[in-house]
Structure 1
Amino acid sequence: MKHDFPSLINSTSNARLKTRYLAVSHFVDSKNHLEIAKYLKVSRVSVNQWVKAYLDNGLEGLQEKTYSGRPHRLTDEQKSQFKEYVVEHAINKNGGRLQAKDIGLYIESNFDTSYKSQPSISYYMIPL
Protein backbone atom coordinates (compact mmCIF):
# COMPACT_ATOMS: atom_id res chain seq x y z
CA MET A 1 0.00 0.00 0.00
CA LYS A 2 1.77 3.09 -1.24
CA HIS A 3 -0.14 6.35 -1.01
CA ASP A 4 0.72 9.99 -1.60
CA PHE A 5 -0.02 11.22 1.92
CA PRO A 6 1.01 14.87 1.37
CA SER A 7 -1.57 15.11 -1.43
CA LEU A 8 -4.19 13.33 0.67
CA ILE A 9 -3.55 15.67 3.59
CA ASN A 10 -3.86 18.75 1.38
CA SER A 11 -6.97 17.44 -0.38
CA THR A 12 -9.21 17.25 2.68
CA SER A 13 -10.62 19.98 4.89
CA ASN A 14 -11.56 17.47 7.61
CA ALA A 15 -9.12 18.12 10.47
CA ARG A 16 -9.60 14.70 12.05
CA LEU A 17 -8.91 12.94 8.79
CA LYS A 18 -5.82 15.12 8.19
CA THR A 19 -4.50 14.07 11.59
CA ARG A 20 -5.06 10.39 10.79
CA TYR A 21 -3.35 10.75 7.41
CA LEU A 22 -0.44 12.56 9.04
CA ALA A 23 -0.10 9.86 11.71
CA VAL A 24 -0.06 7.07 9.14
CA SER A 25 2.32 9.05 6.95
CA HIS A 26 4.80 9.22 9.83
CA PHE A 27 4.28 5.51 10.49
CA VAL A 28 5.07 4.72 6.85
CA ASP A 29 8.22 6.86 7.25
CA SER A 30 9.30 4.49 10.07
CA LYS A 31 8.49 6.71 13.05
CA ASN A 32 7.37 4.84 16.15
CA HIS A 33 3.92 5.27 17.63
CA LEU A 34 5.11 7.20 20.68
CA GLU A 35 7.02 9.72 18.54
CA ILE A 36 3.98 10.19 16.31
CA ALA A 37 1.68 10.68 19.32
CA LYS A 38 3.98 13.29 20.86
CA TYR A 39 4.41 15.13 17.56
CA LEU A 40 0.66 15.24 16.85
CA LYS A 41 -0.26 15.78 20.52
CA VAL A 42 -2.64 12.84 20.56
CA SER A 43 -2.68 9.65 22.60
CA ARG A 44 -0.53 6.70 21.63
CA VAL A 45 -3.67 4.57 21.75
CA SER A 46 -5.23 6.72 19.00
CA VAL A 47 -2.12 6.34 16.85
CA ASN A 48 -2.23 2.57 17.41
CA GLN A 49 -5.89 2.46 16.34
CA TRP A 50 -5.30 4.57 13.22
CA VAL A 51 -2.29 2.53 12.12
CA LYS A 52 -4.16 -0.74 12.69
CA ALA A 53 -7.19 0.57 10.78
CA TYR A 54 -4.91 1.57 7.90
CA LEU A 55 -3.06 -1.76 7.85
CA ASP A 56 -6.32 -3.73 7.99
CA ASN A 57 -8.46 -1.64 5.61
CA GLY A 58 -6.21 0.83 3.80
CA LEU A 59 -7.35 4.44 3.44
CA GLU A 60 -10.97 3.35 3.91
CA GLY A 61 -10.12 2.40 7.50
CA LEU A 62 -9.21 6.03 8.27
CA GLN A 63 -12.51 7.52 7.12
CA GLU A 64 -15.04 8.96 9.57
CA LYS A 65 -17.57 6.50 10.87
CA THR A 66 -21.22 7.47 10.91
CA TYR A 67 -22.51 8.10 14.39
CA SER A 68 -25.89 6.83 15.46
CA GLY A 69 -26.63 9.26 18.24
CA ARG A 70 -30.01 10.73 18.93
CA PRO A 71 -31.58 12.17 15.79
CA HIS A 72 -31.99 15.94 15.58
CA ARG A 73 -35.33 17.28 16.71
CA LEU A 74 -35.41 19.76 13.84
CA THR A 75 -35.52 18.82 10.18
CA ASP A 76 -33.08 20.38 7.72
CA GLU A 77 -35.85 22.72 6.55
CA GLN A 78 -36.59 23.77 10.13
CA LYS A 79 -32.87 24.32 10.79
CA SER A 80 -32.74 26.59 7.75
CA GLN A 81 -35.77 28.55 8.96
CA PHE A 82 -34.22 28.75 12.41
CA LYS A 83 -30.95 30.05 10.97
CA GLU A 84 -32.79 32.81 9.12
CA TYR A 85 -34.52 33.80 12.35
CA VAL A 86 -31.28 33.95 14.31
CA VAL A 87 -29.44 35.94 11.64
CA GLU A 88 -32.33 38.38 11.35
CA HIS A 89 -32.78 38.84 15.11
CA ALA A 90 -29.24 38.38 16.43
CA ILE A 91 -28.82 42.08 17.15
CA ASN A 92 -31.80 44.15 18.19
CA LYS A 93 -32.04 47.57 16.55
CA ASN A 94 -32.97 49.06 19.94
CA GLY A 95 -30.02 47.41 21.67
CA GLY A 96 -29.52 44.00 23.19
CA ARG A 97 -29.11 40.68 21.51
CA LEU A 98 -30.85 37.37 21.03
CA GLN A 99 -30.61 35.13 24.10
CA ALA A 100 -31.00 31.38 24.56
CA LYS A 101 -34.37 31.82 26.30
CA ASP A 102 -35.68 33.77 23.26
CA ILE A 103 -34.42 31.06 20.96
CA GLY A 104 -36.04 28.38 23.11
CA LEU A 105 -39.38 30.18 22.91
CA TYR A 106 -39.06 30.54 19.13
CA ILE A 107 -38.30 26.84 18.69
CA GLU A 108 -41.16 25.84 20.97
CA SER A 109 -43.74 28.06 19.28
CA ASN A 110 -42.68 27.35 15.68
CA PHE A 111 -41.52 23.74 15.65
CA ASP A 112 -43.64 22.05 18.32
CA THR A 113 -40.62 20.88 20.29
CA SER A 114 -38.77 22.26 23.27
CA TYR A 115 -35.32 22.22 24.77
CA LYS A 116 -34.94 22.25 28.52
CA SER A 117 -31.27 23.19 28.62
CA GLN A 118 -29.25 26.03 27.17
CA PRO A 119 -26.45 23.78 25.83
CA SER A 120 -29.02 21.98 23.67
CA ILE A 121 -30.17 25.29 22.23
CA SER A 122 -26.61 26.54 21.80
CA TYR A 123 -25.86 23.46 19.68
CA TYR A 124 -28.04 24.86 16.92
CA MET A 125 -26.28 28.22 17.06
CA ILE A 126 -22.77 26.82 16.46
CA PRO A 127 -23.05 26.22 12.68
CA LEU A 128 -24.48 29.69 12.13
Structure 2
Amino acid sequence: MNQTAEELLKLSRAEKNARKRMRLLAIAQFLECKNRTQVANQLKISRTSVNNWVSSYLEAGLDGLEARKAKGRIPYLSAQQQKQLGEFIESHSQSEQGGRLTGEKILHYIKTEFGVEYHHNAIYKLLKQLGFSWITSRSRHPKQQQSVQ
Protein backbone atom coordinates (compact mmCIF):
# COMPACT_ATOMS: atom_id res chain seq x y z
CA MET A 1 0.00 0.00 0.00
CA ASN A 2 3.07 2.24 0.01
CA GLN A 3 3.34 2.20 -3.77
CA THR A 4 3.17 5.41 -5.73
CA ALA A 5 1.10 5.86 -8.86
CA GLU A 6 4.25 5.61 -10.99
CA GLU A 7 5.25 2.30 -9.38
CA LEU A 8 1.78 0.90 -10.01
CA LEU A 9 1.97 2.00 -13.66
CA LYS A 10 5.29 0.17 -14.02
CA LEU A 11 3.75 -2.92 -12.44
CA SER A 12 0.78 -2.71 -14.80
CA ARG A 13 3.05 -2.56 -17.85
CA ALA A 14 4.86 -5.70 -16.69
CA GLU A 15 1.63 -7.54 -15.77
CA LYS A 16 0.55 -10.24 -18.23
CA ASN A 17 -2.93 -10.77 -16.79
CA ALA A 18 -5.20 -8.17 -18.44
CA ARG A 19 -7.70 -8.08 -15.58
CA LYS A 20 -5.04 -7.45 -12.97
CA ARG A 21 -3.46 -4.85 -15.27
CA MET A 22 -6.80 -3.00 -15.35
CA ARG A 23 -6.99 -3.11 -11.55
CA LEU A 24 -3.46 -1.72 -11.23
CA LEU A 25 -4.25 1.09 -13.69
CA ALA A 26 -7.41 1.97 -11.79
CA ILE A 27 -5.53 2.16 -8.48
CA ALA A 28 -2.72 4.22 -10.05
CA GLN A 29 -5.23 6.72 -11.42
CA PHE A 30 -7.09 6.78 -8.11
CA LEU A 31 -3.85 7.66 -6.30
CA GLU A 32 -3.25 10.51 -8.77
CA CYS A 33 -6.70 12.13 -8.77
CA LYS A 34 -8.57 10.60 -5.77
CA ASN A 35 -11.86 10.54 -7.69
CA ARG A 36 -13.35 7.09 -8.30
CA THR A 37 -15.98 8.32 -10.74
CA GLN A 38 -13.36 9.94 -12.99
CA VAL A 39 -11.27 6.76 -12.90
CA ALA A 40 -14.30 4.68 -13.90
CA ASN A 41 -15.20 7.03 -16.74
CA GLN A 42 -11.64 7.25 -18.02
CA LEU A 43 -11.12 3.46 -18.04
CA LYS A 44 -14.70 2.81 -19.23
CA ILE A 45 -15.52 0.44 -16.39
CA SER A 46 -18.20 0.55 -13.73
CA ARG A 47 -17.77 2.75 -10.68
CA THR A 48 -18.72 -0.23 -8.51
CA SER A 49 -15.71 -2.17 -9.80
CA VAL A 50 -13.41 0.76 -9.09
CA ASN A 51 -14.89 1.11 -5.59
CA ASN A 52 -14.35 -2.60 -4.89
CA TRP A 53 -10.77 -2.55 -6.19
CA VAL A 54 -9.85 0.59 -4.24
CA SER A 55 -11.37 -0.82 -1.05
CA SER A 56 -9.49 -4.10 -1.52
CA TYR A 57 -6.26 -2.23 -2.21
CA LEU A 58 -6.65 0.00 0.85
CA GLU A 59 -7.37 -3.00 3.09
CA ALA A 60 -4.86 -5.55 1.77
CA GLY A 61 -2.46 -3.73 -0.53
CA LEU A 62 -1.44 -5.43 -3.79
CA ASP A 63 -2.64 -8.79 -2.47
CA GLY A 64 -6.17 -7.38 -2.44
CA LEU A 65 -6.02 -6.99 -6.22
CA GLU A 66 -5.36 -10.69 -6.85
CA ALA A 67 -8.19 -12.58 -8.50
CA ARG A 68 -10.08 -14.84 -6.12
CA LYS A 69 -11.44 -18.20 -7.13
CA ALA A 70 -15.21 -18.22 -7.41
CA LYS A 71 -16.90 -20.45 -4.85
CA GLY A 72 -19.58 -21.79 -7.16
CA ARG A 73 -22.90 -23.35 -6.34
CA ILE A 74 -23.29 -25.59 -3.31
CA PRO A 75 -23.80 -29.18 -4.54
CA TYR A 76 -27.19 -30.82 -4.00
CA LEU A 77 -25.54 -33.92 -2.55
CA SER A 78 -23.09 -33.74 0.34
CA ALA A 79 -19.69 -35.41 0.12
CA GLN A 80 -20.99 -38.35 2.15
CA GLN A 81 -24.02 -38.73 -0.13
CA GLN A 82 -21.81 -38.57 -3.22
CA LYS A 83 -19.61 -41.30 -1.74
CA GLN A 84 -22.68 -43.44 -1.04
CA LEU A 85 -23.91 -42.87 -4.61
CA GLY A 86 -20.50 -43.90 -5.96
CA GLU A 87 -20.61 -47.11 -3.91
CA PHE A 88 -24.13 -47.81 -5.21
CA ILE A 89 -22.99 -47.36 -8.80
CA GLU A 90 -19.91 -49.54 -8.26
CA SER A 91 -21.90 -52.35 -6.68
CA HIS A 92 -24.61 -52.34 -9.34
CA SER A 93 -22.30 -51.96 -12.33
CA GLN A 94 -20.40 -55.12 -11.36
CA SER A 95 -23.48 -57.20 -10.76
CA GLU A 96 -23.29 -60.95 -11.47
CA GLN A 97 -26.85 -60.92 -12.79
CA GLY A 98 -26.09 -58.58 -15.68
CA GLY A 99 -28.35 -55.71 -16.62
CA ARG A 100 -27.51 -52.06 -16.99
CA LEU A 101 -27.55 -49.21 -14.58
CA THR A 102 -29.28 -46.39 -16.46
CA GLY A 103 -29.55 -42.71 -15.74
CA GLU A 104 -33.20 -43.23 -14.82
CA LYS A 105 -32.26 -45.83 -12.22
CA ILE A 106 -29.66 -43.48 -10.76
CA LEU A 107 -32.23 -40.65 -10.71
CA HIS A 108 -34.69 -42.89 -8.91
CA TYR A 109 -32.04 -43.97 -6.38
CA ILE A 110 -31.06 -40.35 -5.63
CA LYS A 111 -34.68 -39.30 -5.22
CA THR A 112 -35.65 -42.19 -2.94
CA GLU A 113 -32.42 -42.34 -0.94
CA PHE A 114 -31.61 -38.63 -0.55
CA GLY A 115 -34.85 -36.84 -1.44
CA VAL A 116 -33.11 -34.75 -4.10
CA GLU A 117 -34.40 -34.33 -7.65
CA TYR A 118 -31.95 -34.01 -10.52
CA HIS A 119 -32.67 -33.36 -14.18
CA HIS A 120 -31.68 -36.37 -16.27
CA ASN A 121 -28.99 -34.32 -18.08
CA ALA A 122 -27.39 -33.39 -14.76
CA ILE A 123 -26.92 -37.05 -13.82
CA TYR A 124 -24.23 -37.49 -16.45
CA LYS A 125 -22.36 -34.40 -15.20
CA LEU A 126 -22.59 -35.81 -11.68
CA LEU A 127 -21.23 -39.15 -12.90
CA LYS A 128 -18.28 -37.37 -14.49
CA GLN A 129 -17.56 -35.51 -11.23
CA LEU A 130 -17.58 -38.83 -9.39
CA GLY A 131 -15.13 -40.32 -11.90
CA PHE A 132 -17.58 -42.50 -13.81
CA SER A 133 -18.35 -42.63 -17.50
CA TRP A 134 -21.90 -42.93 -18.78
CA ILE A 135 -20.69 -45.16 -21.61
CA THR A 136 -21.41 -48.75 -20.66
CA SER A 137 -20.05 -52.03 -21.87
CA ARG A 138 -22.33 -54.69 -23.24
CA SER A 139 -24.03 -56.41 -20.37
CA ARG A 140 -24.26 -60.15 -19.79
CA HIS A 141 -27.69 -61.46 -20.67
CA PRO A 142 -29.46 -62.81 -17.55
CA LYS A 143 -30.34 -66.11 -19.30
CA GLN A 144 -26.87 -66.65 -20.72
CA GLN A 145 -25.17 -69.92 -19.81
CA GLN A 146 -21.53 -69.90 -18.79
CA SER A 147 -20.94 -73.39 -20.23
CA VAL A 148 -21.81 -72.24 -23.77
CA GLN A 149 -18.94 -69.79 -23.83
TM norm structure 2: 0.45
Aligned to 1:35: 38
Deviations 1:47-67 (A, max 9, x none): 011001000000000001022
Question: Compared with structure 1, are the counterparts of its residues 8 and 113 closer, same or farther at alpha carbon in structure 2 (3 Å cutoff)?
Answer: farther
Q: How does 1:4-19 map to 2 (within 5 A)?
A: 4-19=7-22
Q: Which amino acid aligns with 1:17?
A: K
Aligned to 2:56: 53
Taking the aligned partners of 2:12 and 2:3, their CA distance within structure 1 comes to 14
Alignment of 1:1-128 (within 5 A): 1-3=2-4, 4-69=7-72, 112=133
- Which amino acid is 2:45 matched to? V
Report the Cα distance in structure 2 between the residues aligned to 1:5 and 1:52, rounded to whole angstroms. 16
Letter in 2 for 1:2: Q
Separation in 1 of the partners of 2:71 and 2:38? Answer: 33
Aligned residue-pair number: 75
Offset of residue 9 of structure 1: 0.5
Identical pairs, percent: 39
Q: Secondary structure at the match of 2:71?
A: coil
Long gaps (5+) in structure 2: 74-131, 136-149
Find the aligned partners of 1:9 and 1:113 in 2 and give their Cα distance. 46
Q: Which amino acid aligns with 2:133?
A: D
Amino acid at match of 2:3: K
TM-superposition CA deviations, 1:46-98 (whole Å, max 9, x none): 1011001000000000001022337xxxxxxxxxxxxxxxxxxxxxxxxxxxx
Tell me how large the CA RMSD over aligned residues is. Answer: 2.2
| C-alpha spacing 1:113/1:64, structure 2 compared with 1 (3 Å) | farther
How far apart in 1 are the matches of 2:49 and 2:72? 22
1:20-57 residue CA offsets vs partner (Å, 9 max, x unmatched) = 00000001102411111011111101101100100000
SS at 1:13 equivalent: coil
Q: CA deviation at 1:2?
A: 1.9
